[in-house]
Each structure stands twice: as C-alpha cells, then as structure tokens.
Structure 1
C-alpha cells in the first residue's frame, strides 16, 4: 500500500512540474465571420525545461474538433495541413500565428467577443495543461 501511495505522489509531482515548464502567453481566438463554424487560435508557447516537449493534441469545449494546422506553400499554392505532433525544443518558444502554425477549431458555435474559451493541451508524456484564450474581433 505504501508503494502505491509513493507512486501516486511522484506522478503528481512530475505532472505539476512538467506543466509548469510549458507556458502559454499572448493568445487569442479570432472571432469568425458570421455564419461560419470555423475559428483559429493563436498564442506563444514557451518550453522552459531542459528537455524537448512534444505537443500531442489540443481540445476545446467550444469546438467539435480542434487540431494543430500549418500553412505551407506546396508547388506555389498555399495550403493548410494537419500536424499530428509538434516538437518544442528545450528552452525555446514557438508561435502559433496567422499564415503559419495555428490551432484550427471546427464546429464552433456562436462565439462572442470578450468571452474566454477553455483549452486542454496534452503532451506526449500524458501531461495535460489547461488554459483560456480571449475571443477577439479580427
């Protein structure tokens, strides 16, 4: 019984430490045009740890489906592609921004400027990081 208790405590410490190493800042969800059900989220993600972090998935209760996307130039045509995982090197920052890497939200309901949306970012290690982003007009 004591071994199980120590394992649970160790897992809690490791989880809280790992989530403290990933910081989300300067984020927003752009208000989509009326009548559309697709929105995009942008933010800066900083990995302050000495180890690489792999982003495995992202979800929001405001959308039926949420995923990482990247805008790429393929044979002279700009296209959006789904990205399964994102590697964030140790002690570095990546930016989710328009026309580049971003979070695509599909099946969103009516969003209202000034509200905040909840997100859950899951790392490949299994650590879950909850954060909110404000909805802003384009």
Structure 2
C-alpha cells in the first residue's frame, strides 16, 4: 500500500510542470536630484520555469504609486507608456533598463544613496518578490563629456 502511494505521488510530481521561480538580479533605483518626486527602478528578471510568467504589479511603502512602463518612439519622440504586465519568458529573462521596460516610482517619500529601497513585485503565478534595492546616481550616457 505504502509503495503504491509513493509511486503514485512520484509519478504525479514528475508529470507536473515545474513551477516557475522568478529571481530579480542587478536591481537598483535611480537617484535623482533633491526635489524630484519621481524616479525608476531597473533589474533583470530571470525565470527558470517551463512556462512564461508575467510581472503584474509593484509596490513600495516609500512611494504613493508604482507602475510598469515602457518607452515608445512616436514621430521621432520617445514617450513613456504604462503597461499592464511584463512577460518573463520560460527559461528566459526580461530586462528592465533605462529607455526600455522599467518600473516608475511616483511621489517618492525618501530616497538616498546608501539606504536600501524596499520594493515588492507581484507575479501572475502568485509569487511575490520582496526586494531591497540599492540606490544609485544617474550615470552619464556613453560619449557625453562633462
């Protein structure tokens, strides 16, 4: 009896698709000049699962509102647009970076270099990622001299 139950559970475990586990790496929040209320967070989201997963929400106790955004080029002008979700492909990654997909943080309460910034990501598979991101100053674009 025990043997049959064990092999049944083993077969079910082998037949079930692997639950996706998403990991955030190389994340940071961009430090902006004092008095600037909005900023952005960037990172790489890696999905080791066999099915795609969607980032569907983000929150932080340090902001009034957080949204998922992308940049679009319209008539030679780059514009930001809110998106409902960001897909993280199976066995792949989604890169959130300046000028592309990113997390917009509105009405930031406190932001200083050296103080970790709390951020929680919500995924459509029920997973929540609680992050503590470093705050980094804006780096000049390549080729720009100051």
Instruction: Say yes or no: TM over 0.5.
Output: yes
Aligned length in residues:
120
Which structure dedicates a bigger proportion of its chain to strand?
1
Residue in 1 aligned with 2:100? 100
Q: Which runs of 5+ in 2 are unaligned?
A: 1-18, 139-146
TM-score (norm 2): 0.78
Q: Is 1:65 equivalent to 2:65 in the alignment?
A: yes
User: What is the Cα deviation at residue 126 of structure 1?
Assistant: 2.6
Give matches, 1:101-120, under 5 Å. Answer: 101-120=101-120
Unaligned runs of 5+ in 1: 1-16
Three-state SS of the structure 2 residue aligned to 1:81 is strand
Please state which structure has a larger fraction of its residues in helix.
1
Aligned match of 2:137: 137
Q: Tell me, what secondary structure is at the counterpart of 1:114?
A: coil
- The 4+ residue runs of structure 1 with deviation greater than 6 A are none
Does residue 48 of the first structure (1) align with residue 44 of the second (2)? no
2:38 match:
38
Two-structure CA RMSD over aligned residues (Å)? 1.2
Partner of 1:10: none
Instruction: State how far apart, in whole Å, the 1-side matches of 2:101 and 2:22 are.
Output: 17
In terms of mean alpha carbon deviation, does 120-129 or 26-35 score higher? 120-129
State the match for 1:77 in structure 2. Answer: 77
